[in-house]
Structure 1
Amino acid sequence: MAAEGGSDLVKVVTLLGAAVVAVPLFKRLGLGSVLGYLAAGLAIGPFGLGLFKDPQAILHTAELGVVMFLFIIGLEMRPSHLWSLRRDIFGLGTAQVGVAVAALTGVGMAFGFPAGVAFVCGAGFVLTSTAIVMQLLGERGDIAEPRGQKIVAVLLFEDLLIVPLLAIVAFMAPASGIAPAADAQGSRWMDVLVALGSIAALVAAGVWLLNPMFRVLANAKAREVMTAAALLVVLGAALLMEMGGLSMAMGAFLAGVLLSESTFRHQLEADVEPFRGLLLGLFFLGVGMSLDLAVVARNAPLIVAGVVALMLAKGLCVYGVARWLRSSHADAVDRAVLMAQGGEFAFVLFAAAAANGVIDATVNANMTAIVVLSMALTPLAVMAQRRLMRPAGPSMDGVEAVTGTRGLAGSSLIIGFGRVGQIVSQSLLARGCEISIIDTNTESIRQAADYGFKVYYGDGTRLDVLHAAGAHTARAVIVCVDDIEASSRVAELVHSQFPHARLLVRAMDREHALALVAHGVDFHVRETFEAAIALGREALLALGLDEQEADDISADVRRRDAERFQLELAGGLQAGRAMIRGNAAPAAPQEPSR
């Protein structure tokens, strides 16, 4: 027993060690974490060092990582948002899958396979790897972006597609006996009813059961039970969908959507996230282990040609559909590269087809190797695309750029409309002042439009943009950008080219403030200084001082800071700080850099 337990512990340590060594190394080389996991799995798997003999057992367990990933994505998808994606899910999804299945079936027939076998191979390869695509989108922060949302919509449609594809494979199975047609038809209808019943049961539980349950558990203040409940929801939803013949990942996603408006949403996400990360990494390790190098070696020409042909054909179909539905060239290329591979659901479809006699064991092994290789090549393809293609400029949908033909003429010009710029604008608007606003963040511009603000796209470091934005007529130019270099450049331009305007600038820290004074700004404020003074005053009041004494101390802190600033400005930063260290009173230690 002890020896057996020790053997299991060795396997766990091996899995963790392979991931800990390979993933940071591959990320350091710029190859990404997914490729690191795949390489580590190949190295320790049955076709590498042989430390593991059954990758399918690991894959079966690690599929829960994909399930948990879909649950977390569902938590971010409120029902109203999911409804807004319906056209992408069913419109874009149907178009992309339909075109790709037809093209990939043609590729299979060109390789000499019968039409039925070619269809199964093409239909399996069209099911993109949700795990790999979502991981790559998450690493670069694109899941919530419009182009990322379109990819998520197609992935959801493909997850739904596994059910009818499995039914089609069952229909294609060669007849093994004479079964009554009525019984077969009744069985199929029963399967459909069971699937619909599973969905209805999950929705009912999400609407009437989950929130009250989490409310009771939260009142019990048992942190570990909340974690157990979160796992119960994810795994229970996955099990319910699996029992109904549907995708486990789809069940978890639906559970996440049902809880997306719950007050416990963030707690659930925090509870599930560690398990999701570990299991998803284990899934990629399992995929790497399942690459049968012996099969690849025996059928190298066929497999290499199959990988190239299927990925190229699918990528071209994805690109063509994206362009047909009016996506930009950059977004279409990005989607094609990300979605050109096969996925984990292909293994399920090929196994079902082999079990039903639709494809033989050789075709199953070859197609499995092709899918695994395509998954391994995807991170490399994404990296090559990033290096070869110029980064796409910001999307200008719903954004109006400031130009010389559309000159602005407000009494004040605000450059940068983030947190600080928005607050500054409120004082001016309350007084009825006319303001012009420019920013380079298109997402911020679109969000501002939702609240009634007209913000133009414009780079304040360019003189022609400043002219078009009305700096030559503005009485005050307020620079609120959060980039030190850009802020200094704008201040220098405004001071030299528009000396009539009062120049008011947000400073990031003390050194930046000194540089701004050197550029001739009329007023600057360090973004943390005023907040810190206010917090310090409130702390004194909390300790029992009266308001007058707290105000006097705050005024003294301001005075000392102003004196230090003037010393640094007059004698240079280092000389001023040396003088402060020699003369400052202990009650007011030197401020480091803010």
Structure 2
Amino acid sequence: MDEILHFSELGVVFLMFIIGLELNPAKLWQLRRSIFGVGAAQVIGSAVILGGLLMLAQFSWQAAVVGGIGLAMSSTAMALQLMRDKGMNRNETGQLGFSVLLFQDLAVIPALALVPLLAGSGDEHFDWMKIGMKVLAFGGMLVGGRYLLRPVFRFIAASGVREVFTAATLLLVLGSALFMDALGLSMALGTFIAGVLLAESEYRHELEIAIDPFKGLLLGLFFISVGMALNLGVLYTHILAVLLGVAVLIAVKMLVLYVLARVYGLRHPERAQLAGVLSQGGEFAFVLFSTASSQRLFQHDQMALLLVTVTLSMMTTPLLMKLIDKRLSRRLNAPEDEHEAPWVDDDKPQVIVVGFGRFGQVIGRLLMANKMRVTVLERDISAVNLMRKYGYKVYYGDATQVELLRSAGAEAAESIVITCNEPEDTMKLVQICQQHFPHLHILARARGRVEAHELLQAGVTQFTRETFSSALELGAKR
């Protein structure tokens, strides 16, 4: 069971990589107050209250400290997935929730280091030479990632083989996770940092669609393993204690989060959403409580009760969120422009330009000069590299893949301009947009009469025949 749970945590690792891709260092710096302010207050506040309640339940003070910290953590996998499903990840509520989860990941290491100290066996665990080596290795990872990742992916993308690109992405995610694990740090934190380092690269959207299938599969395994962790024997023999524990855990965490969200300035519906989505215990509790049990901080029945409580709290979260959404649906859907996160607009383009050759560049410059939010997709890596040198935000990828368009913001965009060189690609893109993104206003380039006729038959009326139009313009000058 422990092996399955450990393997399934890779789903969280992949999810954190994708989250990292959505944040660049500048955006992460904007979150510093919510990470170290609200995040720290949530962990400390919840841990103090829950630890005090555990002492009232006849836990030793050492066990109560560890138990309070473990129960204060939320499930990164469950909370992030719920926030993405409900669209919370693109508003201020999701921004604050993510900040809290990120601080919890940062708190994992000191929490684990605290266990042997509380057990009275910590003196020999503080080898300052090892700690210094870990800090140097972590710094080396940051510097190496900053200067090596983009050239490596540029070389791989130049091969034009998508499978190699996917394999390299998997190697990056798993390698950074295992490297951090070897240092005794959070695997999810390592892949998150790798994602942040690539967030401003031209490969961002292509990386996301390469990882997404693996993330979904492993997250599914994670949730299955959570169900497998439920000890029905303990639940049957201590059902009242377990149900009371689940209710108290959820109530305490919701209260702390609600108060902090109010101080932060969120409205009542947003506070309730944030409190609900982070109300459960987390996967880190399994690791921390197992470590504490091996140090004899917990009695066997105490650990069993805590693990069942955490598992049931995770299972109740989707139901709790449905109840919150149902009760507050009108107020949650009310206009709230002033509550939007300051960095959201970068991921919500008004126009997507596919193809950035000479024709696409003219259109792109015109749109950008008129202050429109534009996302450009180009599958020629040499063209991407050249345009990026001139300051254009061009992303590498094949736009005929639905997931790449979705990742690039097609669901939020108003228009798409298709300037592909190949007529087959143009028609394929038209069909994809009409099927998956029917709201998009399609504008296209036709290289000749046949392609123009095909566009008309497909229902595209906004197009230009480049040779015909330029010939008429030149002829009109006589």
Match of 1:164 in 2: 110
Q: CA deviation at 1:310?
A: 1.4
Q: Is the 8 A contact 1:198 1:241 kept in 2?
A: no
| Structure 1 Cα separation of the partners of residues 338 and 191 of structure 2 | 33
Q: Is the 8 A contact 1:338 1:382 kept in 2?
A: yes
TM value normalised by structure 2? 0.71
Q: CA deviation at 1:194?
A: 3.5
Match of 1:265 in 2: 204
| Match of residue 235, structure 2, among 282, 296, 305 | 296
Runs of 5+ in structure 2 lacking a partner?
A: 341-348, 352-369, 373-413, 415-438, 441-455
One-letter amino acid matched to 2:183:
G
Q: 1:266 to 1:321 in 2, by over 3 A?
A: same
How do residues 509-588 of structure 1 correspond to structure 2 at under 5 angstroms? 532-535=460-463, 538=465, 541=468, 547=472
| Structure 2 Cα separation of the partners of residues 195 and 161 of structure 1 | 16
Q: Is the 8 A contact 2:246 2:313 kept in 1?
A: yes
User: How many residue pairs end up in the alignment?
Assistant: 366
Q: Is the 8 A contact 2:91 2:339 kept in 1?
A: no
Match of 1:131 in 2: 77
Q: 1:148 to 1:534 in 2, by over 3 A?
A: closer
| Structure 1 Cα separation of the partners of residues 17 and 156 of structure 2 | 20
Q: CA deviation at 1:398?
A: 7.9
Higher RCO (C-alpha 8 Å, min separation 6): 2
Match of 2:338 in 1: 397
| Match of residue 315, structure 2, among 376, 384, 393 | 376
Q: 2:51 matched to 1:112? A: no
How do residues 95-110 of structure 1 correspond to structure 2 at under 5 angstroms? 95-110=41-56
**Partner deviation per Cα, 1:112-168 (whole Å, 9 max, x = no partner):** 222222221111111100000011011111112111011001100000101000111
One-letter amino acid matched to 2:68:
G
Match of 1:328 in 2: 267
| Structure 1 Cα separation of the partners of residues 299 and 242 of structure 2 | 16
One-letter amino acid matched to 2:222:
F
| Match of residue 122, structure 1, among 68, 71, 82 | 68
| Match of residue 71, structure 1, among 14, 17, 21 | 17
Runs of 5+ in structure 1 lacking a partner?
A: 1-54, 400-417, 421-449, 453-481, 483-507, 510-527, 552-594
Q: 1:93 to 1:419 in 2, by over 3 A?
A: closer
**Partner deviation per Cα, 1:52-102 (whole Å, 9 max, x = no partner):** xxx332222111110000000000110000001000110111111111111
**Partner deviation per Cα, 1:545-586 (whole Å, 9 max, x = no partner):** 9759xx9xxxxxxxxxxxxxxxxxxxxxxxxxxxxxxxxxxx
Q: 1:354 to 1:390 in 2, by over 3 A?
A: same
Match of 2:158 in 1: 219
| Structure 2 Cα separation of the partners of residues 389 and 383 of structure 1 | 10
Bigger Cα displacement from structure 2, 55-64 vs 365-374: 55-64
Q: Is the 8 A contact 1:174 1:357 kept in 2?
A: no
| Structure 1 Cα separation of the partners of residues 245 and 79 of structure 2 | 21
Q: 2:215 matched to 1:276? A: yes
Q: SS of the residue aligned with 2:230? A: coil
How do residues 190-589 of structure 1 correspond to structure 2 at under 5 angstroms? 190-392=129-331, 393-397=334-338, 532-535=460-463, 538=465, 541=468, 547=472
| Structure 1 Cα separation of the partners of residues 69 and 265 of structure 2 | 25
Q: CA deviation at 1:205?
A: 1.9
| Match of residue 90, structure 2, among 129, 144, 148 | 144
One-letter amino acid matched to 2:32:
R
| Structure 1 Cα separation of the partners of residues 20 and 296 of structure 2 | 36
**Partner deviation per Cα, 1:451-506 (whole Å, 9 max, x = no partner):** 69xxxxxxxxxxxxxxxxxxxxxxxxxxxxx9xxxxxxxxxxxxxxxxxxxxxxxx
Q: Is the 8 A contact 2:62 2:119 kept in 1?
A: no
Q: CA deviation at 1:184?
A: 4.7
Q: CA deviation at 1:325?
A: 2.9
TM value normalised by structure 1? 0.58
Q: CA deviation at 1:201?
A: 2.0
**Partner deviation per Cα, 1:275-330 (whole Å, 9 max, x = no partner):** 01111111111111111111111221211111111111111111112223332222
Among the aligned pairs, what percent are the same residue? 39
| Structure 2 Cα separation of the partners of residues 396 and 69 of structure 1 | 28
One-letter amino acid matched to 1:386:
D
> Which structure would you say has the larger Rg?
1
